[in-house]
Structure 1
Amino acid sequence: MAEISGPGSNGSDGGVQSLERAFLLLELMAEDGGEVALSRLAVDSGLPLSTIHRLVRTLVARGYVRQLPSRRYVLGPRLIHLGESSSRTLGTWARPHLGELVDATGETANLAMLDGDRVVYVAQVPSRHSMRMFTEVGRRVHLHCTGVGKALLAQLPAATARELLVRGGMPRRTPLTVTDPDEMMARLPQIAAQGYALDDGEQETGVRCVAVPVLGGPLMTALSVSGPEGRVPMESVPGIVGQLQAAAAALAAELREDGARALSGRSS
C-alpha cells in the first residue's frame, strides 16, 4: 500500500485516509490483545513503517495509545471513556426494544457486546415475574457458556473464534457446560446457519437463554431472552427467535440511520 502524500488526503471512498488508517491500527492492536510492536502493525496493515510511526505518535499524544518500556504499544486509557460512553448510548437505543421483548415473552431481555475474549452486558429490562433472571449491567462473562457469547462467536472467522475461546478459557459452570474448544467450534456453523444460539443450562442450572446477533450494526452485539426452563420450554424457542430477530433488525436499522445522520450533519 503506497503512503499518502499528506495527513488530510482523501481515501478512495471520500473518507480521510489518515483517519481510516489510524482506526485500522487501533483495531489491529485490539485484535492482537491490545499490545503490539510497530513491526507487527506494519505486517498486519500493509502500511509503510513511516506512516505507522506518524499515526501512532498522534494517537499517543491524544491518549488513545501508550508506549511501554519495552517499546511496544498498548491501547490507551482514553479509549475506556469512549467505550463506556458508547455502551451507555447503545443501551439507551436498545431499551425500548428490550421492553417490547419483555412484553412479548414475559422474560428478561438483554443486550450484550463482544469485549475482547468476553461478552459484556450493556442493557437489560427485567421480567415482571417475581422469580426472574438478573444479570448486572457491565458484567463480563465467558463466551462458551452463554447464548449471547455463542451467537457472537458464530459470526467470527473460525480462527478468531478459536483464539478467543482458548485465550478466555472455557471453565465448567454446570454439568452441561462445553469445555472443549473443538466441540464448541464444531457447533458454531450450525448456530450461524440457524441464526440463533441457546444457553441450555450451561451458565446456570435450570436457566434457558435464547440469543441472536444484531446483524449490520456498528458493533458486535447480541440480544437475548432468558428465564427458567419451565417458563421457556423448547417449543417456545422458534417464536422467541422470531421476536428477537425482529428486534435486532430494528435496532440495527436505527443505529445505522443515526450514524448516517451524524455523518451528514458533520459534512454539512
Structure 2
Amino acid sequence: MNLEKYKVSTSIKLKNFDTKEVLEEAKKKLKKLRKKLSETQDTMYAEGKYSVLICLQGMDTSGKDSLIREVFKDVNARGVEVHSFKVPTELELKHDFLWRHYIALPAKGKIGVFNRTHYENVLVTRVHPEYVFGENIPNIKEIEDLDDAFYHDRMERINDFESHLAKNGTIVLKFFLNLSKDEQKNRLLRRLNIPEKNWKFSVGDLKERKLWDKYQFCYEDLLNSTSKENAPWFIIPADDKDSARYILAEILQKELDKYDFKAPELPEKVAVRIDEFKEQLNNE
C-alpha cells in the first residue's frame, strides 16, 4: 500500500481525493497491527525521549470516536490520552486560543489523541465567525475584522506551535477523515432509524450539514496552509470505517518506525549481577 498518496505534501484540491477505499481484510490486518503499535508505545515509554500527538479532524459522523477505540484498543491504557475539545469554557476563553490545547499535550512516552483539535479555531470559527467575539480579542470589534488574513495569521501561529512541539520531542501527525456528503446522510439516518443510536443524533448536525461547502473550503485551505514536514496532514478516505482505521494505523506505525525507539539498557554494574539477583529471588 502506497501510504505517501495520503500525505499532503503539495497544494491539493479535496475533490481530487477519494472518500471511499475498501481494503481486503482491513479488520483482520488492523487487529495484527494493533499489537505492533502497543509494543512500539511500550518501547517509546521506556526510552522516554518522545511523545506522539495525533490530531483527528473530520465532518460530523466521520468516525473519529470509533476509530480511536479500534486503533488503540491494545495499547496500554496508561499510554494513551484522549482529549475531545468542545465549546471553550469561560476559563479557556480568558486565555489565548492555543492555551487549552497546550496544557493537554502528552508527556514523553505517551500518545495523545486530540479528537477535534486546535484547528477548530480556524475551522468552526471561520464558518461561524461570531464565535470569536467570545475570546474578547483587542481590535476585533466586528465581523469584517475576521477576514482571511485573520485566519491565515492564526494558521501561522499554529505552525509555530507545532514546530515548537516537534523541536522538543513531540511527533505531530494530523489526519483528516474525508467523508462524502452522501455517506454522512446515511450515518445520520442510521442514528435516527436505530433506537439505541438515537442519543448520538443532534439537530445541530443538520444545521452544520447545510454549510458543507463552506466547511470543505475551510478544510482545504487549512490542509494546504498547515501541512509541514514536521507536522504533516494525511487525508484518509472515511466512507468505509474498517479501511479508514487500518490506513491510519499503517501510516502511524510507519511514521513511528522512523524513530527506531530503543529501551534503555541496564547499567553495567547492575547487568553483571543479574545471576546474583536471580539466585537471591529463587532462594527466598
Looking at secondary structure, tell me which structure has more strand per residue.
1
The structure, 1 or 2, with the larger RCO (C-alpha pairs under 8 Å, 6+ apart) is 2
**Which structure's CA Rg is the greater one?**
2
TM over 0.5: no
More helix by share: 2
TM band (smaller chain): under 0.3
When normalised by structure 1's length, the TM-score is 0.28
The two structures have a TM-score, normalised by structure 2, of 0.27
